[in-house]
Amino acid sequence: MASSAADLHIFFLPLLAPGHMIPMLDLSILISARGPRSTIVTTPANAKLLRPSLSDTDNPNIHLLTIPFTSDESIQLPENLTGHPIPDITPEFFASLCRLEPHFESLFLTHRPDCIISDIFYPWTATLAKRYGIPRIAFHGTSYFSFTVMSVISLLRLYESVSSFDEPFLVPGFRHNIKMTRSQMSSIVTSPPEFMAGFPASLKETYGTVMNTFHELEPAYADFFKSFSDMRSWNVGPVFLCRRSVDSLRNRGGAAACEVFRWLDGKDAGSVLYVCFGSLARFTAAQLREMRAGLEAAGRSFIWVVTDDPEAEGSVPVTGEEEGSVGFVIKGWAPQLAILEHEALGGFLTHCGWNSCLEGIAAGVPMVTWPLFADQQFNERFLVDVLGVGVSVGSVVNSTRPEERTVVVAERVAAAVEAVMGEGEEAEERRRKAREMKEAAARAVGEGGSSEVDLGRMVEELMALKMNRMKG
Ligand code: UDP
């Protein structure tokens, strides 16, 4: 009998991209802190990425197991989306995700976990869990806001009500005035790929959903999701607040670039802008030049994270501080959580990936929003129109292909940075709201907070399910 949480064993299967793997790892840390055993199942190259982050946690109840990744013989795909030239879940990549099933099942049969928590991009885990009589819980890598707004736009085909790509349409049914354009829609909304046709059926077989958000952040949208999807859901975020030690903050998701902290330590409180576009972004050389000119023109100290993008060669300086510049460049992986928590931080220029949004919110910093693709344009509306903590830089074309996005010119970059970092009533109001959100996030994960309670409920419910199964 599952008499205690320690008898519960959960298999985690994250999507093979940092923005999904990192929060799922944090979720496993949170769950295992309550007793259950967590096993993260991933492919060999991704296990290498996750292992250093795991070694910072002192919980012996979290394990990694690997299964082989295979792609179609004609197209050799890297195991992680970061290595793909275009960071899209293509039919070929999706096929590779489906090929994980027999290997996952064989691990499942050896270890017999009591629950599977898997990314929504593994619809087959719902059928597998059902076959063996255990619950599958789906992990959504986005917010309630973006999920519901996307669903409404897609169902009502609102983007067809306008005559051009840049004519705004109103998203009805919500208290906030949400206006979007067709150019801001990801293709998942306007023309979902065929492989997603089976997702609704798999969600019907799914026991519940776990979300990296907290109720007070988006109550109306959380309630809307529940009534709309008719599904149990638990809000347990921000999950990264499980990381408390400096090492754990600095090494999350990759090796830390420590010199940046010496540079930050020399700056005044609230004076530095942190610029990062997540793990998958690519830019044209022209856009990188405008970005750099805009950041320099704003005249505020900044940290600029640039991926190892061939386009970046020659367009941006090498790692470190550059003579005559007010910026510090990090090429490669930045210790984002630790930078955001530094007291010198005054603003965050973000691509609006959901993890970055939540990390900015929990750090209490106002944001410059520069969405690129996927749900990022929706998350931008959430930061700007719903929370009132963001200023848009004006990136209005949703595309994974950098050459399809219109170039944001230096003047717009500088103006948005100034609006966020400068003085004035509006900037102060934004900072006040950001501070309020930070406090709300800390309360949610603190003792008796909404996320802490929801997480406890989820674990108890899983234990009760196990007991019933064993009695049966
Ligand atoms: N991240 C980081 N250092 C980097 C780039 C990204 O720590 O240099 C982390 C960031 O803190 C976040 C995740 O990677 O947790 C990126 O997820 P997000 O949803 O923001 O964007 P994505 O990479 O999925 O576009």
Domain span holding position 315? 246-442
Task: Give residue 255's pLDDT.
Answer: 61
351-363 pLDDT tens trace: 999 999 999 999 9
- Distance, CA of 375 to CA of 354 (rounded, Å): 8
Same domain, 205 and 323: no
**Residue 111 neighbours by CB under 8 Å, 6+ apart:** 9, 11, 39, 65
User: Is the domain of 326 the same as that of 396?
Assistant: yes
On the question of pLDDT at 393 being above 80, the answer is: yes
Percent of the chain at pLDDT exceeding 90: 78
For 161-189, what is each residue's pLDDT tens digit? 999 999 999 999 898 999 999 999 999 89
418-446 pLDDT, tens digit each = 999 999 999 999 999 999 999 999 999 99
CA dist list (Å): 405 to 164, 314, 331, 352: 16, 21, 23, 16
pLDDT tens-digit map of 198-231: 998 999 999 999 999 999 999 999 999 988 888 8
441 lines ligand 1 (CB under 6 A): no
Are 150 and 269 part of one and the same domain? no
How many domains does the structure of the chain reveal? Answer: 2
Residue 137 and residue 210 in contact, taking contact as beta carbons nearer than 8 Å: yes
Which residue among 53, 279, 370 has the greatest number of ligand 1 atoms within 8 angstroms of its CB, and so is best to mutate? 279
On whether both 154 and 276 belong to a single domain, the answer is: no
Distance (Å, whole) CA 126 – CA 138: 9
As a whole number of angstroms, the distance between CA 239 and CA 429 comes to 27
Same domain, 339 and 202: no
| Terminal alpha carbon distance of the chain | 11
Q: Average pLDDT for residues 311-326, to the nearest whole number?
A: 65
Exposure of 3 in the CB half-sphere (CA atoms within 13 A) = 1
Is 76's pLDDT higher than 90?
Answer: no
Q: Are residues 197 and 342 in the same domain?
A: no
Block residue for tokens 């944090």: 26
User: If pLDDT is split at 50, 70 and 90, which confidence band does 65 have?
Assistant: very high
Active-site residue, selected from the candidate residues 20, 140, 215, 351: 20
Among 356, 359, 375, 377, name the best residue to mutate to test ligand 1's pocket (greatest count of ligand atoms within 8 A of Cβ): 356
Q: Are residues 437 and 458 in the same domain?
A: no
Please indicate whether residue 62 or residue 230 has the higher confidence score (pLDDT).
62
Inter-residue contact 395 to 408 (CB < 8 Å) = yes
Give 163 Cα–ligand 1 centroid separation in angstroms.
36
Assess whether the C-beta atom of 355 lies below 6 angstroms from ligand 1.
Answer: yes
Q: What is the CATH number of the domain that holds 193?
A: 3.40.50.2000
pTM above 0.85, yes or no: yes
What average pLDDT does the structure give for the chain?
A: 92
DSSP 57: S
18 close to ligand 1 (CB < 6 Angstrom): yes
Catalytic residue among 114, 119, 309, 454: 119
Over residues 129-138, the pLDDT tens digits come to: 999 999 999 9
| 219 and 330 together in one domain | no
- Closest CA relative to residue 430, chosen from 443, 409, 416, 444: 416
Is 19 near ligand 1, meaning CB less than 6 Å away? yes
Are 226 and 254 part of one and the same domain?
no
Highest mean pLDDT among 46-55, 206-215, 237-246, 323-332: 206-215
Whether residues 144 and 266 fall in one domain: no
Same domain, 184 and 130: yes
pLDDT of residue 181: 97
Q: Which helix (H) or strand (E) holds 70?
A: none
> Do 238 and 321 fall within a single domain?
no
pLDDT band at residue 323 using 50, 70 and 90 as cut-offs: low
C-alpha 15/C-alpha 34 separation (Å) is 24
Q: What are phi and psi of 116, to 5 degrees?
A: -120, 125
Q: What pLDDT is stored for residue 324 in this prediction?
A: 67
* pLDDT of the residue at 3: 61
Written as one letter, the residue type at 161 is S
Active site residue 119: yes
pLDDT at 124: 97
Ligand 1 centroid–CA 350 distance in Å is: 10
The tens digit of pLDDT for each residue in 236-281 reads 999 998 866 766 777 676 665 678 999 999 999 999 999 999 999 9
For residue 253, the model assigns a pLDDT of 66
> Does the annotation mark 111 as catalytic?
no
Residue 259: what pLDDT?
85
Compute CA 438 distance to the chain's CA centroid, rounded to the nearest angstrom. 17
Residue whose structure tokens are 């949703």: 398
